Amino acid sequence: STTEKPVLLNNIADAEAFVSGAEVAVIGFFQEPQSPEAEQFRLAAGQVPEVPFGLSSSAAVLSHYGASANTVALFRRVDNDRRDLDMNNRDVDAKKLTRFVRMNELRLVTEYDPVTSIGVMQSSLEFNLLLITDKMSPKHPERMRKFRAAAELYKGKILFILLDSNLKSNERVVSYFQLKKSQLPALAIFHTPDDEHDVLTPDEISIERIQDFCNRFLQ
């Protein structure tokens, strides 16, 4: 995209609209927009094109968010959470900042991999629903469409996770649920505090099927 990243947020209304307009949004709070820390922030913004980055040096905006100068905050809608990173630490550079965003950018549907798994483990949501499926399957786009639509219905309640069964690093998760490749796609729901879980291997993934499965488990 040709839009300038990061977006300058001059007042509280701009900042609030920016945060509410995305599943995941990142704001850098800098008193000095030309500081070395802000420069690293700009570099990181270029590394993560799909996440909107905003920058504010307005005292009103900093105070509204209770942020100190040289702080980067990541806001996510899926569990209404906010994660902060202190840029005053000299060790924090664009690479560390990019990793911070990648680790914490939980979305309505988060794809599970070794980096996002850290954010998944730390989510405030206690229920996780996994769609364990082959991403190369011709049916994948349609399954994802239904899975996303269902995720909208459980926003703030259940974290929806896509698990690609082709990834070697995911084999352990598939075997945890005692699933064989021939049984996929499968849905697995999980309650993190006590490891209670349930598995469904439907012929077809539908929004109604997902709702039934989730509601039964939640009850």
pLDDT tens figures, 130-189: 999 999 999 999 999 999 999 999 999 999 999 999 999 999 999 999 999 999 999 999
Task: Give strand pairing partners of 85.
Answer: 72
Residues 84 and 117 grouped into a single domain: no
Alpha-carbon distance values, 147 to 58, 106, 128, 143, 212 (Å): 40, 15, 13, 6, 13
Q: Report yes or no on 2 lying in a domain.
A: no
Residues 74 and 148 grouped into a single domain: no
* DSSP alpha helix (H) spans, the chain: 12-20, 36-47, 59-64, 94-104, 116-121, 140-153, 171-176, 207-218
Q: What is the model's pTM?
A: 0.83
- Could you tell me the pLDDT band of residue 1, with boundaries at 50, 70 and 90? very low
Q: What is the domain range of residue 170?
A: 109-218
Residues 115 and 96 grouped into a single domain: no
Residues 82 and 178 grouped into a single domain: no
Neighbours of 205 (CB within 10 A): 21
Residues 151 and 172 grouped into a single domain: yes
Structure tokens at 95: 């690479």
Domain count within the chain: 2
Res 4: pLDDT: 66
Domain endpoint, select from 84, 104, 124: 104
Residues 159 and 74 grouped into a single domain: no
Peptide bond into 36 cis (omega under 30): no
Q: What is the CATH number of the domain that holds 61?
A: 3.40.30.10
